[in-house]
Structure 1
Amino acid sequence: MATEKTSIFSPELAARFDRLVTIYPVRRSALIPMLLYAQDEVGYISDAVVSEIAERIGIKDHDVRSVLSYYSMLRTKPAGKYNVQVCTNISCMLRDGYGIMEHCKKRLGIGHKGVTPDGLFSLEEVECIGACCWAPAIQVNYDFYDNLTTEKLDQVLDDYQAGRGKVTV
């Protein structure tokens, strides 16, 4: 009698993973998409996530960990419900990206890679989010905000704190 393997992922994500490993010429090429999808569902890349993805691809856990350690967008610790990424690359830096980052630190009471005590916000300084023409910019989860001032930033954070999500500033 065959036993059905249990997964830490939802049935939908497990099915997506089953498909992903078939569409690449080399199964290992599915690793980064799988890690990103897993992070979206679980919130971070846990030991259990590493083990199951390694097994699904047919590689060793340490192979997954070496990729995981390279990419800054992959987290090994839980982030807040709203992950605020502040760009401080050259265009944003020249238009007060560091000021925006400092304002976030003060406003949220956390530093780079920190999480607020209530788990609502996490904060990270990132190299580039591809919004150079509209600097300074931030990304909250998958939502972008550009041409920011500290006032606009406060409005964005207030709206997320109130549970209104994506807002236009």
Structure 2
Amino acid sequence: MNFFSEENRMLAREIIGRYPKRRSAMIPLLHVAQAQAGWVSNEAMVEIAELVDTTPAEVLGTCSFYEMFKREPVGKYLVNICVTMSCALAGAADLMERAQERLGVRVGGTTPDGMFTLASAECQAACTEAPCLQVNYRYRYRVDAPQFDQLIDDLAAGALDDEIPPHGITARIRQRIPAERAVGAVPPDQVHEAPVWLTLSAANGASGGGAG
């Protein structure tokens, strides 16, 4: 039984076609799998292995290396609260305590309705905006308890659907490369000239330059 929907299977083939080696498409296909289901199942990894001509073990090795790929179900919204030094000094422990009270789950837990998974995170690179958190990797800065409650209310009501998609969807706009600017799926050892995009960039730079 196939994991990917027909639409995503077609997308997978398109993505694979961008690379000189099929295995190079592994990480993009893991993202497609997670966008479809919200997490990456064993069935998904088996199908990815077949598509890129490798083993499920290699796909698992790649998937398990990256924190953003989840290998078990999570909520529609993954709430990551930063607990590293700057956020800790600015009240991250109090914020985490409030989050556990409001959601009714401990860190690592998912609410019974499947809406929210609560997690702690290491530095989110927003130390000047502490304490901060991410919902499906979208930032919220300087969050206090009332703001957290409002965030949860808004998410549950669908008020932030345009801003924060369900877990697994990294972007709403998928990359599209015009044919005339594509490098092409050519093995590196068969490339003997500069790619088209580099030639065009150089030509445009030369034509747009002014006198010094």
Superposed pair shares fold, TM > 0.5: yes
Normalised by the size of structure 2, how large is the TM-score?
A: 0.69
Query: 2:52, 2:90 → 1: CA distance?
Result: 43
- Displaced runs of 4 or more, over 4 A: none
User: Quick one: structure 1 residues 13 and 129, their matched pair in 2 at CA, closer, same or farther if it must change by over 3 Å?
Assistant: farther
- Structure 1 equivalent of residue 46 of structure 2: 51
**1:67 alignment partner, SS class:** helix
What displacement does 1:150 show? 1.1
Asked if residue 127 in structure 1 is aligned to residue 128 in structure 2, the reply is: no
- Structure 2 equivalent of residue 3 of structure 1: none
What displacement does 1:167 show? 9.4
**1:103 alignment partner, SS class:** helix
Q: Which has the larger radius of gyration?
A: 2
Q: Please list, as runs of the form range in 1=range in 2, the aligned pairs for 1:16-165 lying within 5 A after superposition.
A: 16-165=11-160
CA RMSD of aligned residues (A): 2.2
- Structure 2 equivalent of residue 13 of structure 1: 8
Normalised by the size of structure 1, how large is the TM-score?
A: 0.84
What displacement does 1:142 show? 4.3
Residue by residue over 1:9-66, the C-alpha shift from the partner in whole angstroms, topping out at 9 and shown as x without a partner, is 2333222221222323433232222212211211111111011111111110111111
Query: 1:92, 1:167 → 2: CA distance?
Result: 27
User: Quick one: structure 1 residues 27 and 130, their matched pair in 2 at CA, closer, same or farther if it must change by over 3 Å?
Assistant: farther
**2:26 alignment partner, SS class:** helix
User: Quick one: structure 1 residues 107 and 21, their matched pair in 2 at CA, closer, same or farther if it must change by over 3 Å?
Assistant: same
Q: Which has the higher contact order (CA 8 A, sep 6+)?
A: 2
Structure 2: runs of 5 or more not aligned: 164-212
